[in-house]
Structure 1
């Protein structure tokens, strides 16, 4: 029997803390006129956000690995990380909110950190015509599927 490792990134949701037109450092904005988008080759049209979300998920898919310790122990479950998209498009304040264990949470944290490796990877959010910080949650399901003969 061959084990199939599946990593499924689930819908990106945003959380925010404060609704102000001028957002002080250390705070995030809510609601957002224009949500941050992952930098991609997506056309600037009505489907830009959906295309950008797919590009972000492709980045996650192509960079994430299932930790060997998790495979060995049969660890599955939902890892959730939260992070802030800064006014300059970089990510900061990365925290693991849910960790199934055996390195899965740390692997997701590593992937979000990698978003800064080649400079900013996000177009920042806009509120009141100003760039604002926006907090995101990213859930990823780690699942060891089995493929029969």
Structure 2
């Protein structure tokens, strides 16, 4: 006897030939193959999902590890950046403006060349030194007779020519820096904007904060003709860390509206007190 497929459509038609096919038995037999196929697909999908769970877990753990590594790398990068910024801050040079030192001036004797002049033009106080006096004199020859200081080292002519002998007050500058001008330099937005900028960017040094150091750092700096901040000097210091921080903030200031003299932009001294106060 030939092999019979009991779930085939031909067998179903043979069994229900001449019978009522409107009831459930015929429909159940005719759709049995479709139900079995759907059930097989569902079982395969379930097995695939179960088998992929360990793989999904491993992938999630790997992503978490990558995120942690990325976070560590970012933290290391930020730490290196902070260290670089600290190093940059350490390189800030703080200049202190010293008062002009007292200068010991050498004694000098005036050498006057004989010139024929009208009697009305003769300086009666100027005494013509004879050759014997000049030869025996222990003082330096200069344009003026000066008693001088014991142990003096500076010639009186040097002072007359405004040469540098000590401190910064007599220091020659490449360009004239004005103290008073017709139109003084101004910070964009006015004085309130300047104070707000300093307040927003000033960082209280940790050492000074721990030691509860408070007070005012008085700075004097040059506003150049292009409005940029030039040399910055500490006139009145508070603490080396506070002084350095005050200089750093002033050097970071945006460009000013430059000062003007006779309509031309010029370099002008600008004095600014910065207060360090623990709130």
When normalised by structure 1's length, the TM-score is 0.66
Q: Give the equivalent residue in structure 2 for 1:122.
A: 256
Shift of 1:84: 0.3
For residues 1-149 of structure 1, the aligned pairs below 5 Å read 25-40=174-189, 52-115=190-253, 121-145=255-279
- The structure having more radius of gyration, on CA atoms, is 2
Shift of 1:96: 1.4
- In the alignment, structure 2 segments of 5+ residues that lack a partner are 1-172
Larger proportion of strand: 1
Query: Quick one: distance in 2 between partners of 1:75 and 1:91?
Result: 27
- Kept in 2: contact 1:82–1:97 (CA 8 A): yes
- In the alignment, structure 1 segments of 5+ residues that lack a partner are 1-23, 41-51
How well do the aligned residues superpose, as a CA RMSD in angstroms? 1.6
Q: Which runs of 4+ in 1 moved over 6 A?
A: none
Query: Quick one: distance in 2 between partners of 1:137 and 1:123?
Result: 15
Shift of 1:88: 0.5
1:103 aligned counterpart, secondary structure: helix
Shift of 1:25: 4.3
1:35 aligned counterpart, secondary structure: coil
My pick for the range that moved more, 85-94 or 107-116, is 107-116
> CA, structure 1 residues 83+130, in 2 after alignment: closer, same or farther (shift >3 Å)?
same
Q: What's the CA shift string for 1:117-147, capped at 9, x where partnerless?
A: xxxx1010011111111101111121224xx
- Kept in 2: contact 1:34–1:125 (CA 8 A): yes
Q: Which structure is higher in RCO with an 8 Å CA cutoff and minimum separation 6?
A: 1
- Kept in 2: contact 1:67–1:102 (CA 8 A): no
